[in-house]
């Protein structure tokens, strides 16, 4: 069974090499590309100031984060949650750079970027030349992101899980095989819920030649007016007309 963790972070700024830190982590668990309802979410005291630019993006203030645990206090439970799952991240180099900087401080094993699925790279291959940020992908795939007035790690991870499923082949991966949400942290992502985002119908293109259609019509005529085939395709017999 394939286990994946769709992950997003929020940070104090844009450059971990200059001391910016992780302040929020949001994760959504997938099994065989289907959300299980088991999530991980935590706010973190960065032990430094949130930049004005970052605050404008996510709205997480220094005051709000002051009583939250530091990264070292949550590192073990975070590592336990992701385990050996494949990570799915949009613009993965950014998040992995920040997480590995934090792991470097705590002595945990760093994450190899080579084994992470970068949905930004997937989107660029699938839609070259188009806008491929998360909002643009939501618009392209008809995914509701109306609650995304500010960036938030868990909400963005939930939305990215839906985008990822579209990028790898669409909603047909679910059908009636969706797992029952399990008890866990965070908010369950239910692909069958009310937003009513149903599978998109596809028009089937006939590949029959005219000769094949004529041969089939002749065969139907040879069966007589009371054949079961005529009932199946909904043709009326003379008596029914």
Within the chain, residue ranges assigned H as helices are 52-58, 62-65, 71-82, 92-106, 119-126, 134-141, 153-167, 210-222, 228-233
Number of helices (H), then strands (E), belonging to the chain: the values are 9, 5
HSE-CB at 147 with a 13 A cutoff on CA atoms is 11
Distance CA 86, CA 47 (A): 29
Q: How far is CA 186 from CA 26, 29, 157, 220, in A?
A: 9, 11, 11, 59
108 is catalytic: no
16, 58, 90, 151: the active-site residue: 151
60 within 8 A of 38, measured Cβ to Cβ: no
HSE-CB at 44 with a 13 A cutoff on CA atoms is 26
DSSP 131: -
Q: How far is CA 123 from CA 97, 133, 181, in A?
A: 21, 9, 28
Listed residue (47, 98, 106) closest to 75, CA to CA: 106
24 within 8 A of 105, measured Cβ to Cβ: no
Q: What are the catalytic residues?
A: 151
């Amino acid at each position: 069974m394939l286990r994946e963790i769709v992950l997003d972070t929020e940070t104090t700024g844009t450059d971990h090499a200059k001391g910016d830190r992780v302040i929020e982590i949001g994760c959504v668990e997938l099994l065989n590309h289907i959300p299980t309802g088991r999530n991980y979410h935590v706010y973190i005291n960065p032990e430094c100031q949130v930049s004005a630019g970052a605050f404008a993006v996510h709205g997480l203030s220094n005051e709000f984060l002051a009583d939250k645990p530091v990264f070292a206090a949550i590192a073990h439970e975070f590592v336990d949650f992701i385990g050996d799952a494949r990570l799915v991240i949009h613009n993965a180099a950014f998040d992995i750079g920040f997480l590995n900087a934090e792991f470097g401080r705590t002595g945990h094993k760093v994450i190899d970027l080579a084994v992470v699925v970068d949905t930004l790279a997937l989107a660029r291959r699938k839609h070259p030349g188009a806008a491929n940020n998360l909002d643009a992908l939501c618009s392209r795939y008809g995914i509701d992101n109306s609650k995304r007035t500010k960036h938030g790690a868990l909400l963005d991870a939930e939305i990215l899980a839906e985008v990822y499923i579209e990028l790898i082949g669409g909603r047909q991966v679910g059908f009636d095989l969706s797992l029952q949400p399990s008890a866990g942290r965070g908010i369950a992502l239910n692909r069958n819920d009310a937003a009513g985002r149903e599978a998109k119908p596809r028009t089937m293109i006939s590949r029959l030649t005219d000769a094949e259609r004529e041969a089939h019509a002749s065969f139907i005529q040879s069966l007589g007016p009371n054949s079961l085939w005529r009932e199946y395709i909904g043709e009326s017999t003379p008596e029914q007309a």
